[in-house]
Structure 1
Amino acid sequence: MTTPDTPMQVSPLRDASTVVLIRDGDGGLEVFLQHRVKQMAFAGGMTVFPGGGVDDRDRDAEIRWIGPDAAWWGERLSTDVETARALVAAAVRETFEECGVLLAGDAGAVVPDPSVYAAQRERLVAKELSFARFLSEVGLALRADLLAPMAHWITPRFEPRRYDTRFFLAALPAGQTADGATTEAAETGWQTAAEALDDWETGRRFLLPPTWTQLRDLARFDTVAEAVAAPRTVVPIEPSVADGRGILGIGFDGAESYLAALRDGRLDRLEER
């Protein structure tokens, strides 16, 4: 039986990557969002950016690569070279798997139409093919220069599934289209950051603190160029937790504004999701 003196069991962390995909739209800067199916074990029913956990095969040192090397990324992401390589590879792989956008090509160009690799995409999702093997087979290289470090969030200790997640910013490559062809999302689409935040404030959609925070960051900018050029220092953020209060006891910079949207009955709708 659990007592007040029983130490909380903290789940181990898993490395993960999330990509904040942006484009210039008619109404200003837009971001690609997924509304996850309720049945998902982590963040079910939430609105999120594409991303997921690092696969062991993402650590392949032979992966074809263009742009800042793994040592450069390790410095920006405060981790070792091997983990940095895996995080960047996972970011590009997950973006391709979840929305069909492929940040790969050669030194002079990006893949104009990733849909030609639909069969390989299915094999990647099924874990029948490693990302390094895919790139080698089709003669492409990962374009690390199309990513920018954005943030680093660690899942609070009270969650049964915990991730050590790096967020990357990336512009949608010219000619490519982000789709909703993933079983993890019930709905996908583009919104301005202001629209997505309004959906949160009114209870139409639900955002975890890292997603909410990155949207607030993007709401400062009018164009992709401005957002990508903005200087950012990536530091790890692990929200504090007040015992026995669940998400209402979460603490981080800006938590009061975030939690304000959960009051007045909105928390019940959050728990339903």
Structure 2
Amino acid sequence: MLLLRDSPHGPEVLMTRRADKANFAAGAYVFPGGAIDPTDHDAHGIAVHRPQQTGHVLTQAIAAIRECFEEMGVLLAYRADGSMADAQDVAALDRIPPTGENFTSQCAARGLQLAADQLRHFARWIADPANPKRFDTAFFVVRMPEGQVPVADDTEQFEPVWLRPVEALERHKAGTFLLIFPTIRTLERLSLHADVAAIVAVCAGEEPLTYNATRSGMLRGELTRLTGGDAGYGDVALISPDAQVVPVLDWQHETPVPLLKNVTRLTLPDGVNRYQVGDAATGYVAVQPGVSSSEPLILAGPEATHTLSLLQMQSGKPAGLLLQEDGLLFSCPGIELDPELAKLCADHRIGFVLPAAGYVKVAKSR
């Protein structure tokens, strides 16, 4: 949960330090939150929510609200008259409920309804396949309720602090404020906005503002974490979908780069990509993105193992050559992965776009 408040110098976010012996992100500064509890499913009936917030999405929001209360003593709930809960309501609830009670039953007994409608889905983070610690986590943003003060439970979370995103990043860079990769990227994105209202506004849709399935590759001799918007991410996702190998991502034109067992990329000194499709048994076809003909084209024979067909944009402009068996599009120069191309990829079940220049791109339909 990203609890936000405005300050004279920009928006601030609440961060807390994880326990030094925690089994994940030990000693790091994080946002409050945790795993879904079975009781969270039972709280749908006392949650105020938008029509689109149903099923698992609503359960995630309820879990975030519960964890925020248990770890920080911050209660995102409405009283019976529609006003927000305050410090008195917080004091009336047990953060560690007695036997037979839980967060949901306590709120219901006091006539409190959970303010799930105030949470906006800022990001979704999925663990790198190489990471033995698995997670698939929703990051919500919400404005800090007035009249409440965060107090850490001093069991799982310690030392709550309000910081501007850029300030947290500067402290991390100085080595005094440990952060993990998803937190760093989240702070970077928060820092782009001038106030809390702007952050909430960009999350107006029901889908996460960003989807982050992390990957790892070697860059300049170092293991580098990547998300979907980073150069090289598509190469890693195509070459090593299960993270069995760590691809080298340094851009070069001296050596061909195997992308699949039947697809190789060779970058010329001028930066233009050429591709080779096939293997020793089938023979090879050289693919040069850039098609001048508008005539339909299919390269295949009666016993073909690789089929290349020309795809066109809705405007009639050539999009590139589709390698049907592998769901790859060798895109023409100047073709960007915009909504029109994303729809084309979805229609033809294309997973990756291999451009005329630069790294592989993951199709948005994937």
The corresponding residue for 1:183 is: 155
The corresponding residue for 1:268 is: none
Task: Within 5 Å, give how 1:66-77 maps onto structure 2.
Answer: 66-69=48-51, 72-73=52-53
The corresponding residue for 1:10 is: none
The corresponding residue for 1:193 is: 165
The corresponding residue for 2:261 is: none
Question: Which string of whole-angstrom CA distances, capped at 9 and with x for unpartnered residues, describes residues 215-238 of structure 1?
Answer: 111112222122211246525321
* Distance of aligned partners of 1:140 and 1:121 in 2 relative to their CA distance in 1, 3 Å threshold: same
Q: Report SS of the residue matched to 1:156.
A: coil
Q: Which has the higher contact order (CA 8 A, sep 6+)?
A: 1
Q: CA RMSD in A?
A: 2.4
The corresponding residue for 1:92 is: 65
Q: What is the one-letter code of the residue matched to 1:96?
A: F
The corresponding residue for 1:248 is: 223
> 1:63·1:135 contact (CA, 8 Å) conserved in 2?
no
Question: Which string of whole-angstrom CA distances, capped at 9 and with x for unpartnered residues, describes residues 31-80 of structure 1?
Answer: 100111220001111110000000111111653021314xx13xxxxxxx
Q: What is the one-letter code of the residue matched to 1:183?
A: T
Q: What is the one-letter code of the residue matched to 2:191?
A: A
> 1:51·1:94 contact (CA, 8 Å) conserved in 2?
yes
Alpha-carbon distance in structure 2 between the residues aligned to 1:99 and 1:42? 18
From the CA coordinates, give the structure whose radius of gyration is larger.
2
Matched, 1:104 2:77: yes
Number of aligned positions between the proteins: 223
Q: Which has the higher helix share?
A: 1
Given the two structures, how large is their TM-score scaled by the length of structure 2? 0.56
* Distance of aligned partners of 1:250 and 1:28 in 2 relative to their CA distance in 1, 3 Å threshold: closer
Q: Report SS of the residue matched to 1:248.
A: strand
Q: Which moved more, 1:154-163 or 1:42-51?
A: 154-163
Structure 1 gaps of 5+ residues are 1-18, 74-80, 257-273
Out of 7, 13, 16, the position equivalent to 1:31 is 13
Given the two structures, how large is their TM-score scaled by the length of structure 1? 0.74
Q: Report SS of the residue matched to 1:152.
A: strand
Q: Which moved more, 1:95-104 or 1:130-139?
A: 130-139
Task: Within 5 Å, give how 1:151-230 maps onto structure 2.
Answer: 151-230=123-202
Q: Which moved more, 1:225-234 or 1:199-208?
A: 225-234
Alpha-carbon distance in structure 1 between the residues aligned to 2:38 and 2:143? 26
The corresponding residue for 2:23 is: 41
Q: Report SS of the residue matched to 1:150.
A: strand
The corresponding residue for 1:259 is: none
Structure 2 gaps of 5+ residues are 232-366
Alpha-carbon distance in structure 1 between the residues aligned to 2:43 and 2:69? 20
> 1:97·1:182 contact (CA, 8 Å) conserved in 2?
no
| TM-aligned CA deviation for residue 173 of structure 1 | 0.7
| Aligned-pair identity (%) | 32
Q: What is the one-letter code of the residue matched to 2:195?
A: T
Matched, 1:59 2:32: no
> 1:148·1:228 contact (CA, 8 Å) conserved in 2?
yes
* Distance of aligned partners of 1:214 and 1:127 in 2 relative to their CA distance in 1, 3 Å threshold: farther
> 1:146·1:170 contact (CA, 8 Å) conserved in 2?
yes
Q: Which moved more, 1:152-161 or 1:83-92?
A: 152-161
* Distance of aligned partners of 1:86 and 1:204 in 2 relative to their CA distance in 1, 3 Å threshold: same
Alpha-carbon distance in structure 1 between the residues aligned to 2:49 and 2:160? 29
The corresponding residue for 1:263 is: none
